[in-house]
Structure 1
Amino acid sequence: MTLLNNGAELRFATDVITFYHPDFWGLESAHAVRAWALENPERFWERVMNALAEAGVTGIELTFAPGDIESALRAFGSAPAFRHDLAARGLSVVSTFIAGSESPDWRHSENLPGIVADAERRAAFLADVGAELLVAGLPMRTTFGTRPPFFVDAAYMTRMADVAHAVGEAVAQYGVKLAFHTESNSTLWYERDIDLFMALTDPRYVWLCPDSCHIALGGGDPVAVARRHSQRIALAHWKDAVKPIDVELTIDETVFIQQQPYMAELGTGIVDWKGWADAMSLTPGAGTVLIELDEAADPVAALRAGTTVVHEARA
C-alpha cells in the first residue's frame, strides 16, 4: 500500500486501451477484437475486470470502442448497474476519454450545440458511475506542408478556449471536471500549445490531463509542463517514450499507428519518472496514477511492471 502525504491511499488506474491487444484475446487483429467485443460486451468487460483485479489496479478510464460508454451500457444495462458490478470487485471508473472521431468537430462553430450535448451525455454517465473527470483533446494538426496551411495561432486557440469554456461549464453542472489531454500531432502537443491554451482558459472550468509520453514525443519536457501547470492537473497519463518523433508524420486515420513505435512501457524510455512523480504529488490529481499501456499483449504483467516503476519513483 502506498499512502499520500494526507494519509489517503494511492489509487492505480489504466485506460481500457491497455486491453485491446489481439494476443490478449487470442484473436488475429485489432479489428477482430472490436468485432468480437461488440457481439460479446458482457464477456469483454468480465475479462477486463478480472485482469484489473489480478493486476491490483482499481481504476479505469473508458475510451473509444470497444471499451466505451455504449459498450458498458450494453453489457450492464445502466450506469448504476455498471458501478455496482465494478464496486463488487473493488473497482471504479476514474474518467471517460472523448475520442475526436466520436464527437462533433470542434473546428466548426455551428457544431457547438452538438458538442455540448455530447459532453453532457457523457457527464451524466460519469455522475451515475461515481466519477468526475471527462478527458478531451483538441483537434489534430494537418500534415506539415499541406496547402493551404493550418496555423495553430492565437486566433485558433481562442476559438478552442471558447468551446472549452462552454463544455466545461456544462459538465460542471453534473459535478464533472473537463480536462485536456496532450495528444501527439494534435493542436495541444507542444509545450507552447499547452501554455497558450492554459493561459486562455479559465481554471475554474478547464483542467489539464498531461500525457508524459506525448509531451516527450513532441520534444517537450513533461516534468517542466507538470510543474508549470501543477494546480490545474486533475489527472495525468503515465506513459513512456522511446524518443521524440523525428519525422513529419502523415496526419490521417493512420497517425496513431504511426506513433506507436515511439512509445514504450514505463521505465524503458526517456521520461524522468522521479521528476514526474514529484511534480504529480503536488497536483489536485495526486491521488490517482493512470498507467497507460496501449494494447499490451500481457496487460496484467505490464500493469504490475508499471506500478513497480511508480513505487520506485515515489520512494
Structure 2
Amino acid sequence: MTPPARRFATDVITFYHPDFWGLDSADALRDWAFADPQAFWLRVMDASAEAGITALELTFAPGDIDSALRAFGGAAAFRRELAARGLSVVSAFVAGADAPDWRQDGALPAIVADAERRAAFLAEVGAELLVTGLPMRTTFGTRPPFFVDAAYLTRMADIAHVVGEAVSRYGVKLAFHTESNSTFWYERDIDLFMALTDPRYVWLCPDSCHIALGGGDPVAVARRHSQRIALAHWKDAVRPIDVELTIDETVFAQQQPYMTELGTGIVDWRAWADAMSGTPGAGIVLVELDEAADPVAALRAGRAVVEAATQP
C-alpha cells in the first residue's frame, strides 16, 4: 500500500522564544503580539513557509484562535492569508485561562459551548482536529490526596463523549494529548482512558516526548492505539522526569530541561515513524519545538531527522 503524502506541521509555540522577535522576555512578546496580532501572525506564517512547514496547530496566546480572529477579522480571512503562503491549519489546542475546568461540578455546558466555538472556527478555516488534554495531577504528597482512579477517568470519559459528539457535528474530531504531569500521562492512564471511550468520538494525540518523560514507551503506546491516532506530536526527551515536580503555574517551565530537539534525545525515531505510518494521522508530521530561538533552523533540523527516520 502506498503511504499517504506527508506534510510537515508545527505548533505555534515553536515561535514563542523572545529572541526570535528581538524582545527580552515572554511577557514582552505577549504584550507586543496582543497589540499587533497581524504582525505576529504574518511573521509566523513567513517563517513557517521558509522552514518548509505547511500546516499549523494553534495553541495558547498569542498563537490562539482569538488572536487570529483579531488579526484578520474572521476565520475566512485568516485562511486566505495562510493559503497565500501554502499553509493551512491542521488543529487547535484547547488552552488558556478561559478554558473551562473539567473537574469543576456543573461545568459541562460551558465545556461544550467552548468546544463548539473552537470547532466552528476550525470548520471555517478548513481544519478537522480539536486537541485537548485532561486536567493536571496534584503535587505528590498533597493532602487530601487526589487519585487518578477508574472512577475519575470514567467521569472524564463521560465528558469526552459529550464533547466529542458535539464537535463531530462540525466535522471535527476530538483528540487527547498526553501532557506531562496531567491525568493523561502514564501509559496506564492512556490505556484506561482509551478503553473507556468510544473510538467514534474520542481520538488520541500522543506526544512522544511527554510519554517518555513519564517513563513510558511512546512507540509501544502508538502501536497499541494506532487506529485512534488522529495526530501526533513529534518531540524528543532527554530522559524521564526523575523528581516530583511542584504542579502549579510553573510546572511547564520545570519540564523544559527534560525536553530537547529531535534527534538529540531518547526517542527511537525510526520505530516511532514506523508506528505512525499506519495511523489515520499518518499524513501529517507535527514537529514540536517549544520556543526555539531560531525556529526556521530548528524546524529544518527536525524535518531532516524525520526524513532520515522514514528512509527505507
| TM-score above 0.5 | yes
TM-score, with length taken from structure 1 = 0.98
Say which of 114, 119, 140 aligns to 1:118: 114
Say which of 127, 130, 148 aligns to 2:144: 148
Is the aligned partner of 1:186 residue 2:194? Answer: no
Taking the aligned partners of 1:109 and 1:206, their CA distance within structure 2 comes to 22
Say which of 195, 198, 219 aligns to 2:215: 219
Say which of 92, 100, 107 aligns to 1:104: 100
Is the aligned partner of 1:231 residue 2:227? Answer: yes
Q: What SS is found at the alignment partner of 2:57? A: strand
Say which of 252, 264, 268 aligns to 1:268: 264
> How many positions carry a matched residue from both structures?
311
Maintained 8 Å contact 2:60/2:96: no
Match of 1:279 in 2: 275
1:70-127 residue CA offsets vs partner (Å, 9 max, x unmatched): 1000111000110011111100000000126331110123000000000000000000
Maintained 8 Å contact 2:8/2:284: yes
Match of 1:308 in 2: 304
1:218-245 residue CA offsets vs partner (Å, 9 max, x unmatched): 0000000000000000000000000000
Match of 1:76 in 2: 72
Taking the aligned partners of 1:100 and 1:191, their CA distance within structure 2 comes to 26
Q: What SS is found at the alignment partner of 2:181? A: coil
Taking the aligned partners of 2:195 and 2:159, their CA distance within structure 1 comes to 15
Maintained 8 Å contact 1:65/1:71: yes
Is the aligned partner of 1:62 residue 2:58? Answer: yes
Taking the aligned partners of 2:279 and 2:105, their CA distance within structure 1 comes to 33
Q: What SS is found at the alignment partner of 2:296? A: helix
Is the aligned partner of 1:34 residue 2:23? Answer: no
Distance of aligned partners of 1:100 and 1:222 in 2 relative to their CA distance in 1, 3 Å threshold = farther
Match of 1:249 in 2: 245
Taking the aligned partners of 1:40 and 1:20, their CA distance within structure 2 comes to 15
TM-score, with length taken from structure 2 = 0.99
Distance of aligned partners of 1:248 and 1:21 in 2 relative to their CA distance in 1, 3 Å threshold = same
Query: Where has structure 1 moved over 3 Å in runs of 4 or more?
Result: 5-8
Taking the aligned partners of 1:100 and 1:78, their CA distance within structure 2 comes to 20
Q: What SS is found at the alignment partner of 2:50? A: helix
- Gaps (5+ residues) in structure 1? none
Match of 1:11 in 2: 7
Taking the aligned partners of 1:313 and 1:109, their CA distance within structure 2 comes to 46
Say which of 22, 44, 50 aligns to 1:48: 44
Q: How does 1:166-181 map to 2 (within 5 A)?
A: 166-181=162-177
Taking the aligned partners of 2:127 and 2:180, their CA distance within structure 1 comes to 26
Q: Which amino acid aligns with 2:190?
A: I
Match of 1:200 in 2: 196
Match of 2:18 in 1: 22
Cα displacement (A) at 1:32: 0.6
Taking the aligned partners of 1:220 and 1:31, their CA distance within structure 2 comes to 34
Q: Which amino acid aligns with 2:149?
A: D
1:170-201 residue CA offsets vs partner (Å, 9 max, x unmatched): 00000000000000000000000000000000
Cα displacement (A) at 1:9: 2.2
Maintained 8 Å contact 1:134/1:176: yes
Q: Percent identity?
A: 81
Distance of aligned partners of 1:277 and 1:227 in 2 relative to their CA distance in 1, 3 Å threshold = same
Taking the aligned partners of 2:136 and 2:3, their CA distance within structure 1 comes to 40
Q: How does 1:124-143 map to 2 (within 5 A)?
A: 124-143=120-139
Maintained 8 Å contact 1:183/1:189: yes
